[in-house]
Structure 1
Amino acid sequence: MRPDSDAGFTLIEVLAALAIIAVALMAALRVTSQGISNVGELRSRLFASWVAENLLVEQRARGDWLSPGTYRGTARQGNTDFIWREEVTETSNPAFRRVNIFVFAVPQESYLLAQLTGFLARPPGIVP
């Protein structure tokens, strides 16, 4: 049996414990930074979906009857700028138009954040 004066941890045991704690803290830091990065991405995607929904709802509210083709523009939502592209196509029913809206991050149309497909009904009074 060892005398009580020798009780305690050796330097090797302390260094091993510190190494384990350091690895655990680095893993926790990495998870935290990824979570913060994901929050920014989700925020951008949420705002982009709002841009697409707003565009389609405004067209429905105004009673727009867009000609088939591609339209482009910019929008600002939540102090963030976005680029949108809208593709309008005819459907088998001449009273409806299909609208595909794509919202991208600024400055270019390479990073798609949101996509929405909807339909516009021909307003009364417009002859086919």
Structure 2
Amino acid sequence: MARVKEALESNDWAHTDAQDPPDAADLDGDDERDNLDPEDLGFGFDPADVEDLKGALWSADAQDGEDEAQPAEDEVARMEDMMRKLQAVREAGEGLPEAQRRRMAARAVKEVMREL
């Protein structure tokens, strides 16, 4: 579904003849484009096949949404763990001399950055 969206967004939808306004003859209603029935576009597909395709697209889109939610939740949990680790190091170093606190903090940050 993402590829379909990308293709639609990349297409130039501007009309090439947009500079010239339509003539009255173009607006008389006899235009072939007026007969575009969405159910009968002449693509040669059986209506049942079209319905199956629509169902497959919608189910694939729904599954994509579910798949994207899980990694986001995992990433949030990982970030929370890292923040807890940094907070624990900060609390553990409260009573220590400045130099030792800096070394502990540097080690903790290095470890967290490695996990990223």
Q: TM-score with structure 1 length normalisation?
A: 0.47
**Does the 8 A contact of 2:82 with 2:112 survive in 1?**
yes
Report sequence identity in percent. 6
Indicate whether 1:29 and 2:60 are aligned. Answer: no
CA distance in structure 2 between the aligned counterparts of 1:51 and 1:38, rounded to whole angstroms: 20
CA distance in structure 2 between the aligned counterparts of 1:50 and 1:69, rounded to whole angstroms: 17
- Report the structure, 1 or 2, having the larger helix content: 2
Residue 65 of structure 1 is matched in structure 2 by 97
Residue 50 of structure 2 is matched in structure 1 by 16
- Report the structure, 1 or 2, having the larger strand content: 1
Q: How far 1:104 moved relative to its partner?
A: 2.0
**Cα root mean square deviation, aligned:** 2.7
The verdict on how the C-alpha distance between 1:110 and 1:58 changes in structure 2, with shifts beyond 3 A counting, is closer
CA distance in structure 2 between the aligned counterparts of 1:110 and 1:57, rounded to whole angstroms: 21
Deviations 1:41-93 (A, max 9, x none): 11100011000011101211xx1113179636xxxxxxxxxxxxx24xxxxxx
The number of aligned residues is: 71
Structure 1: stretches of 5+ with no match in the other structure: 1-10, 73-85, 88-100, 112-128
Q: TM-score with structure 2 length normalisation?
A: 0.51
Residue 73 of structure 2 is matched in structure 1 by 39
Residue 21 of structure 2 is matched in structure 1 by none
Structure 2: stretches of 5+ with no match in the other structure: 1-44
Q: Give the AA of the match of 2:58.
A: A
